[in-house]
Amino acid sequence: MRIVISGSGEVGFHLAEQLVTSHQDVVLIEKDPQRAKFVADHLDCMVVQGEGSDPEILEEAGVDGANTFIAVSNLDEINIVSCLVVANEFKVKTKIARVRSLQYRRSGILNNALLGIDYVVNPEIEAARAIMNVIAHGATGEVLVFDDTDIQLRHIFVDEGSPFRDKTLREVRKALKYNFIIAGISRDEEIIIPYGDTRIVSGDRVYIVSSQRNMEKIFARTGKFRHSLHNVVVVGGGKIGCYVTEFLLRSGRNVKLVEKNYDHCKYLAERFPEALVINEDISDDKLFEDEQLHTSDLLVTTTQDEALNMLTALYAKSLGIKRVVPVVNKSSYINIADKLKIDAIVSPKSSSVSAILKYVRRGNVRCVYSIFDGKAEAIEFTVNSSSRIAGKMVKEMPLPNGSLVVAVNRRHGLVGKNYVPNGEFVVEAGDNVVTFAKAEQVDALEELFLN
């Protein structure tokens, strides 16, 4: 499957890296010569230097006959025009554009069939959705949910005081009577697909799949109890901050919105009259006491300065704020967040990549999540009646090494029932099956579920 990506910024590079790892035929177009050289040196894919809206460059990249074209440059207009050129000049099944401006959405121009855009992704909206999901589940960590189910995938960081430390999976399952499965363990920058005798050690990030109810019980056993998050501080009045504030106000929460730009504060005060808009710099340590921010239940930092977001979250935590959620993209920040006792991290880059992957993956894929900076994926498939795995027990499936079936949702009329399957569980046609796999095994896993 050939996929052509225009733009090698954070989203484009991360997306290409993940697709290359899963053995896809990827071509990346990059205008900047230095950036193009960097990408060519770091990714095992063809790199074409040039503008993604140039027909000659697109032809050189082999876009004609490609399965998917993805325009994720930093300019909305270039992405829109690139999809327009591809739709009118070449034969490509799916065209995806990253478009940040809401003006294009509101004008309805993106719905014009002549533009040929099959899916529009907005990083800020995807990040805001992820934040909303985290808050809705108590902000005790990242929460990945699957369509039409209450199945969740979450991770627990194992520190010195964790009840999981120095126990095998078999021992953990015996101690916790709830129905769950440990899908994966990230350790030393690697993903481990565990088995019963795998021992969990301090510093591990353990990925768990279970129902919402059981998940809350498991988290309570580790000391992460669900708190009421009624009084919320949002730092940064940019696009993400505005989307999150709008959601929080609609849900009946009290919001304090901190923004250092005075003119923008006037706009925010008009847009959100129910919120308290504070025109201050969050780095001023007196602000927390002067505005009583330290008495809040939750702080969400959404500025464009990732280091400031992290430091503010850490400072707020030290003052006693129950939950903190910073917005960051850098892998280094994401990897140390658990060690710093930060409750949840939201990455616009990862949220956008997950949203795009759902449309890149083929056929009966319902949901896709990029895990641990792209080293693994959680994918929800629908099992067709003609599938060779329909009617088979899980242990009979020729699953590729490094992959697991971790949950099944089966509909009985209008009601769905969730299962965390063992090896004897029989998968039926019509089931929605959630899998967890290392990135390099995703292609083989897709072949199994699609054939």
**Per-chain mean pLDDT for the chain:** 90
438 near 193, Cβ under 8 Å?
Answer: yes
Q: Which CATH superfamily is domain 127-135+227-348 in?
A: NAD(P)-binding Rossmann-like Domain (3.40.50.720)
Sequence-ordered alpha helix ranges (H) in 137-206: 169-175
Amino acid at 114: L
Residue 113 has pLDDT above 70, yes or no: no
Closest CA to 298 of 143, 125, 124, 135: 135
pLDDT band at 171 (very low <50, low <70, confident <90, very high): very high
Q: Which CATH superfamily is domain 351-450 in?
A: Regulator of K+ conductance, C-terminal domain (3.30.70.1450)
The H or E element that residue 254 is part of is strand 254-258
Closest CA to 173 of 140, 150, 198: 198
| CA–CA separation, 431 and 414 (whole Å) | 13
| CA–CA separation, 329 and 315 (whole Å) | 20
Residue 247 has pLDDT above 80, yes or no: yes
- Residue 220 confidence (pLDDT): 86
Amino acid at 434: V
Closest CA to 135 of 32, 61, 246: 246
Amino acid at 17: E
Per mean pLDDT, which range of 80-89, 219-228, 438-447 is the poorest? 219-228
Tokens at 438, concatenated: 């290392």
Closest CA to 219 of 363, 391, 343: 343
Tokens 């129902």: give the residue.
Answer: 211
Residue 114 has pLDDT above 60, yes or no: no
C-alpha distances (whole Å) from 382 to each of 133, 402, 447 are 23, 20, 13
Q: Reduced to 3 DSSP states, what percent helix, strand and coil does the chain have, rounded to the nearest 5?
A: 35, 25, 40
Residue 219: count of CB within 10 angstroms of its CB: 19
Mean pLDDT across the stretch 394-408? 92
Per mean pLDDT, which range of 141-150, 249-258, 264-273, 317-326 is the poorest? 141-150
Spell out the domain ranges in the chain: 2-121, 127-135+227-348, 144-221, 351-450
The fold for domain 144-221 equals: Alpha-Beta Plaits (3.30.70)
333 near 359, Cβ under 8 Å?
Answer: no
Q: How far is CA 323 from the centre of its chain?
A: 20
Q: How confident is the model over 283-296, as pLDDT tens digits?
A: 998 999 999 999 99
| CA–CA separation, 15 and 35 (whole Å) | 16
405 near 434, Cβ under 8 Å?
Answer: yes
306 near 334, Cβ under 8 Å?
Answer: no
pLDDT band at 107 (very low <50, low <70, confident <90, very high): low
Q: Report the alpha-carbon angle 291-293-296, nearest 5.
A: 140
Which phi and psi angles does 370 have, rounded to 5°?
A: -85, 130
Measure the N-to-C terminal CA separation of the chain; round to a whole number of Å.
Answer: 15
Give yes or no on whether 127-135+227-348 and 144-221 have one common fold. no
The H or E element that residue 59 is part of is helix 55-60
86 near 92, Cβ under 8 Å?
Answer: yes
Q: Report the alpha-carbon angle 269-270-276, nearest 5.
A: 25
Q: How confident is the model over 12-56, as pLDDT tens digits?
A: 999 999 999 888 899 999 999 999 999 999 999 999 999 999 999
Residue 418: count of CB within 10 angstroms of its CB: 20
Tokens 């809705």: give the residue.
Answer: 136
Closest CA to 51 of 6, 11, 10: 6
C-alpha distances (whole Å) from 43 to each of 19, 23, 28, 67, 70 are 10, 12, 10, 20, 17
| CA–CA separation, 430 and 437 (whole Å) | 21
Q: How confident is the model over 187-205, as pLDDT tens digits?
A: 988 899 998 899 999 999 9
| CA–CA separation, 331 and 6 (whole Å) | 22
348 near 362, Cβ under 8 Å?
Answer: no
208 near 153, Cβ under 8 Å?
Answer: yes
pTM: 0.86
Domain 2-121 classified CATH 3.40.50.720?
Answer: yes
231, β-bridge pairs: 254
Amino acid at 296: S
